[in-house]
Amino acid sequence: MMLKILLPAEVMMTKEVKKIVAEAENGSFCLMPNHIDFVATLAPGIFTYEPVEGGPELLAMDVGTLVKKGADVLVSTRNAVRAPDLGKLKEVVVRQYDVLDEREKLVRSAAARLEASLIRRFVELK
């Protein structure tokens, strides 16, 4: 099967695989090359695939959609990170969430300043 992971701004990877294990909203599932065509909404979690050569590889994945049509498997997600093992994957995810939390704080702060400025200007219009 040809696995392609699509992020909003890039193609994260394209790789020939012999097995995929993913997490859907109603539980995990496994896809093999002769599996019927399939569509699933992916839940945030661990996405495992096994390349034709080598052992299983891991991704931490945000919500997304998986479509299997023939030998092609397309996965579209907002965010995914790759790491060699589960311990490293956890470190990478925690680090990324810390960065996102910091950005969210900055955005909230900017929105609060804009709101305060808008209210101040309405008061001045009286």
User: pLDDT band at residue 114, thresholds of 50, 70 and 90?
Assistant: confident
Domain range list for the chain:
2-83, 84-126
pLDDT single digits (tens) 1-13: 999 999 999 999 9
pLDDT at 93 over 70: no
* pLDDT of the residue at 86: 67
Structure tokens at 106: 């900055």
Q: Are strands 64-69 and 72-77 parallel, antiparallel or unpaired?
A: antiparallel
Coil, strand or helix: which one is 95? helix
Given a cut of 70, whether residue 100 has pLDDT beyond it is: no
Q: How large is the average pLDDT for residues 108-125?
A: 81
* Cβ neighbour number for residue 13 with a 10 Å cutoff: 16
22 close to 42: Cβ distance less than 8 angstroms: yes
What is the full DSSP assignment across 5-30?
EEETTEEEEEEEEEEEEEEETTEEEE
Over range 78-90, report the average pLDDT: 74
pLDDT in tens, 30-46: 999 999 999 999 998 88
Query: What pLDDT score was predicted for residue 51?
Result: 94
- Topology of 2-83 in CATH? ATP Synthase; domain 1 (2.60.15)
